[in-house]
Structure 1
C-alpha cells in the first residue's frame, strides 16, 4: 500500500510535532507548577505516533526492519503533579499511553493531527488505529484500540499481550482518572480523561475525593459550628461518642493490638424531617476537621441487578483510609428491612441488603445514616450501629431559642406575647422556623420596617403550616394581644 505520508513526510508528521512543541512549552512553564514531565510525556507520545504512522504504510518486515520496540518513556523523577501521579499509581507503559492519549484528546488535539490527516487520506487507517474521526470538526478522538495500536504496531503477539492487560483492568480506570463510557466492546470505547485530573496536571490543584461524574457522592462543606445549632441537651450527650471515635482514629487507637475492635463507626440519626440531621452531621465534620461526603442515592440505587453494589464499591473504595465521613440521607432506601421472599426480585433485594451490611462494616471511617424513622431500618443492621441518636422535634424551650436565633439584627417582635404565642402554639422544627423568619425578614426589608407583627407573620405561618402539616391542618391559632 502506498503511504499517503511519503510525499509530504515532514509536513504531515514533523511539522505538527514541532509546531505543537512550540505551543506547549511556553504554556506549561510556570513559576508555580512544574510541567516538565508533562511536556516530555507529550513529546514522547508524539514520537510514538510518528513511528507507528510510518510503520503503518511500510510494505514488509524488511522495510520495517522488525523494529517494533517503542521509544523509552521519559523518567518521572520530579515533584510535578504529573510525575506524582505516575509514581503514586505505579503506571505501566500501557497506562501511560492511555493517560497521554486522554490528555492529548482533552487539551492538546494538535498532537493527534497526524491521525486526522492520514484518516482523510486513507479510510483503511481506522481499522488498525481505532479512534473516532469527526469529518465536520476534523477531529480525532482516540479509543483504547488506539493505545494498543501505538504500543503493538503490527506485532500480533504484542496486541495479545497488551490486550490481556486491558482486560485485566487499568489502574487509571479503577481510580477514575480515565473513563470508558462504551456500552459495547471495551476496546472501542473513547479514552476520556477526568477533568479534575487535567486541572491538576495544569494548575496543581489536587482533585477532591469526590471528583468524577461516576462518583455517587459530593463533598459537603459547612462553616457552621456547634454554636450555630440549637439542640436538646440529651442530643448533645448522644453525639459525644462520635467525637471520641474521631480522636481515637487520629491517635492510632485502632492500630494497636490491645483490642479487637474494627476501625469503622456507624451512627444513625433519626427524627422528623427538618429537625437538622444533615446540618448536625455537617457541623460535626467541620468541628472535628474531617471531610463529609453526602451520598447521592439517585446515583447509587439502580433497578439493574448488581449495579447498586457496583456504585457503592466505587464509593467505599475511593474513601477507604481517608479519615472522612460518609453521610447517607434517607438511608432506609438502602438499609431498609428485608422482606419475605415471594419472587426473584425479593430474593435479590434481600441479597443487596446483606451485601450492604457486610460492606459497610469493612469501611474504616465514620458513617452517618439519616432516616425519618428508626423502625424502617433492617434489624440486623440496627445491631451493627454503634450509636443511635434521636434528633427529636424541638421542645417549647428550644423553639423559643430557635425563634430568637433566627431573629435578624435590629428586628424585634411587636411584643413578647407574640414570641410566647409562636413558641407555644406551633410545634415547628428548626427548618420551619428558619423558613418563616427568612420570608418575614425579606418582607420587612421591602417595607423598610423593623417590627414583626402578627398580621405580617401570619401569612408565612399559613404557608409553612400547609407545607408541614397539609392544607387540612393549616389553620392558625388565634393570637390576642394582651392589654396592659
Structure 2
C-alpha cells in the first residue's frame, strides 16, 4: 500500500495518481515481455516463452489508498496480477491513446511484434490491445498459462459479468482472440473523472435517485435509533481504511447491509436520504415492481443489471417495501414456488457481493426471511412517534412564513392525534393549501384538523376533536 501522504492534494481528489502508477506498472510488464521476446529471437531457440510472472521479477501490485473510485474498486475486487493487467490494457487507450505505439517505437526496431496481436482499425491507426495482446503479454507461448489467461476473458468471468472488460467479437474469419479488449463507457468515466453519469430510470436500472432539503436536526427519532444510524455513518466514513490499511478485506465481507423496519411514515426513507446527504453519496430507491417479473429467470437478470450498474459507484441502494421480494421463502409446492425461492437465493448472493451500503425497508420485521436477517449488519427499528416526538415533528414542519392560530401552543395541541411523521407532513400541506385558498393571514387550526381527519381516515380511524 502506498501512503496518501506522498500525494499532492490535487491528485487526491481524482484517479490520476493511481492511473499514473498503474500505467507505469503496465509499461514495466510490456518491457519485460519485449525483452524476453528479443532474447528468444537472438538465441534462435524454438522453445516457448514462459508466463511473464514466472520469468521476470516485478514489483508487487500497489495502489494509492486515497478514496478515489479506482482505489475503491481495487479494494473491493482484489484482482489478481493477470486481472489487474487486463483491466489496465482495456483502460489505457481511453487515457493515453499512443501508449502502446510509443513503447513499440522506442523498444522494438521493427515495430510491434506480430505475437502481440492488436488492432489498428481506428481513425488514427493506433495500436489497440486485443485478446491476443493479453495472452502473449501474460503467458508468452506457454499453452497451459495461455488457456488460463483466456479464461479471464470469457463471458463467465466477473470482469465480463459485471460489464467492466469484454472481449469484442472478432471480424468474420478472424481468430477468436483477435477481438479488441473493450471497457464499458460508464467504467471509463468512473476510473478517470471519478464518477459515472447518473443513470436514468429504466428497465436496465430500475431505481430513481432520491434527495432531501432537510437537515439532520429536523429528523425526529429516539436516541437509540439515532445511535444505530450513527453506526452506519461510521461504516461509510471508515470502511475503506479498515478494509485496506487494517487489511481486513481478507476476513470481512464487502459492503454493509441494514434493515429499517417500522410503520409507514416513521422516517425510514428520510433517514436513507439524509445518510446520503451527510456522506456525499447518491441514494437510489429501487422500484421492486419493475424488478420482479412473472417470467422465469427475468427477475434474476433485472437484479444482475441493477447491481452491475451500481457496483463500485459508492451509491446507497434503498429497497422500499422490501418484503415484496425479500420476504419469507415458501414451501415448494410447485414450479412457481421453486423459482420464487431461487430469486431470493440469488438476491442473497448479490447483496453479499455488493461493496456499498444497502438499506432494506419493511413495515414488519417478521415479514423478512430469516436467512436475510442473519446477514444484516444493522437492524434498526423505527417506532411510532411518541406524543413528545409528534410535537417536535409538528413544530419542524409548520410554516414559518405566517403566524399560527393559537401561536406557539399549536404543535402541542396537535400532537395528541396519533399520526406518524409522513401523515403529519401531509396534514400540514393540506392546511397550507386551504389557508392560501381562503386567503387567511394565519395558519388556521381548523384547516389542520381537517387535514388530520383525512389522514386518520386513510388509516381507518375515527377522528374526534
Normalised by the shorter chain, which TM-score bucket? 0.5 to 0.7
**Cα offset, 1:209, TM superposition:** 4.3
Report the Cα distance in structure 2 between the residues aligned to 1:351 and 1:230, rounded to whole angstroms.
39
Report the Cα distance in structure 1 between the residues aligned to 2:286 and 2:125, rounded to whole angstroms.
36
Aligned to 2:427: 436
**Cα offset, 1:206, TM superposition:** 7.2
Aligned partner of 2:377 among 386, 389, 392:
386
Q: Match of 1:251, SS?
A: helix
Aligned to 1:271: 262
Structure 1 residue 413 and structure 2 residue 405: aligned? yes
Distance 1:75 1:292, change over 3 A: farther
Structure 1 residue 423 and structure 2 residue 439: aligned? no
**Cα offset, 1:320, TM superposition:** 1.8
Partners of 1:249 and 1:263 within 8 A in 2 = no
Aligned to 1:362: 353
Structure 1 residue 262 and structure 2 residue 253: aligned? yes
Aligned partner of 1:323 among 310, 314, 329:
314
Q: Match of 2:173, SS?
A: helix
Report the Cα distance in structure 2 between the residues aligned to 1:368 and 1:437, rounded to whole angstroms.
28
Distance 1:165 1:350, change over 3 A: farther
Report the Cα distance in structure 2 between the residues aligned to 1:251 and 1:302, rounded to whole angstroms.
39
Aligned to 1:299: 290
Partners of 1:275 and 1:429 within 8 A in 2 = yes
Structure 1 residue 73 and structure 2 residue 122: aligned? yes
Aligned to 2:104: none
**Cα offset, 1:347, TM superposition:** 1.3
**Cα offset, 1:171, TM superposition:** 5.2
Structure 1 residue 243 and structure 2 residue 233: aligned? yes
Aligned to 1:216: 206
**Cα offset, 1:218, TM superposition:** 2.4
Tell which structure's C-alpha radius of gyration is larger.
Answer: 1
**Cα offset, 1:421, TM superposition:** 3.2
Partners of 1:327 and 1:368 within 8 A in 2 = yes
Gaps of at least 5 residues in structure 2 are 1-93, 98-118, 133-167
Cα deviation 1:407-465 (Å, max 9, x = unaligned): 112321325665433211x1111111111111212222233323344433332222222
**Cα offset, 1:245, TM superposition:** 0.6
When structure 1 is superposed on structure 2, of 427-436 and 407-416 the one drifting more is 407-416
Which contiguous aligned blocks of 4+ residues in structure 1 show a shift greater than 6 angstroms?
90-93
**Cα offset, 1:312, TM superposition:** 1.1
Higher RCO by CA contacts (8 Å cutoff, separation 6 or greater): 2
Aligned partner of 1:230 among 220, 225, 245:
220
Partners of 2:430 and 2:447 within 8 A in 1 = no
Question: TM-score with structure 2 length normalisation?
Answer: 0.59
Aligned partner of 1:396 among 387, 393, 397:
387
Cα deviation 1:232-256 (Å, max 9, x = unaligned): 2221112121011111224353564
Distance 1:176 1:455, change over 3 A: same
Aligned to 1:332: 323
Aligned to 1:157: 173
Partners of 2:215 and 2:274 within 8 A in 1 = yes
Aligned to 1:313: 304
Once superposed, what is the RMSD of the aligned Cα atoms?
3.6
Partners of 1:336 and 1:378 within 8 A in 2 = yes
Partners of 2:453 and 2:463 within 8 A in 1 = yes
Cα deviation 1:137-184 (Å, max 9, x = unaligned): xxxxxxxxxx99xx95xxx624xx57x989xx9957xx487xxxxxxx
Cα deviation 1:280-300 (Å, max 9, x = unaligned): 100011101112122121221
- Correspondence list, 1:128-207, <5 A: 157-158=173-174, 175=184, 207=196
Q: Match of 1:334, SS?
A: helix
Cα deviation 1:201-233 (Å, max 9, x = unaligned): xxx997524247321222223343212322222
Question: TM-score with structure 1 length normalisation?
Answer: 0.57
Distance 1:244 1:211, change over 3 A: same
Distance 1:91 1:452, change over 3 A: farther
Structure 1 residue 464 and structure 2 residue 452: aligned? no
Cα deviation 1:371-430 (Å, max 9, x = unaligned): 111111100110000111111111110101111111112321325665433211x11111
Report the Cα distance in structure 2 between the residues aligned to 1:387 and 1:402, rounded to whole angstroms.
25
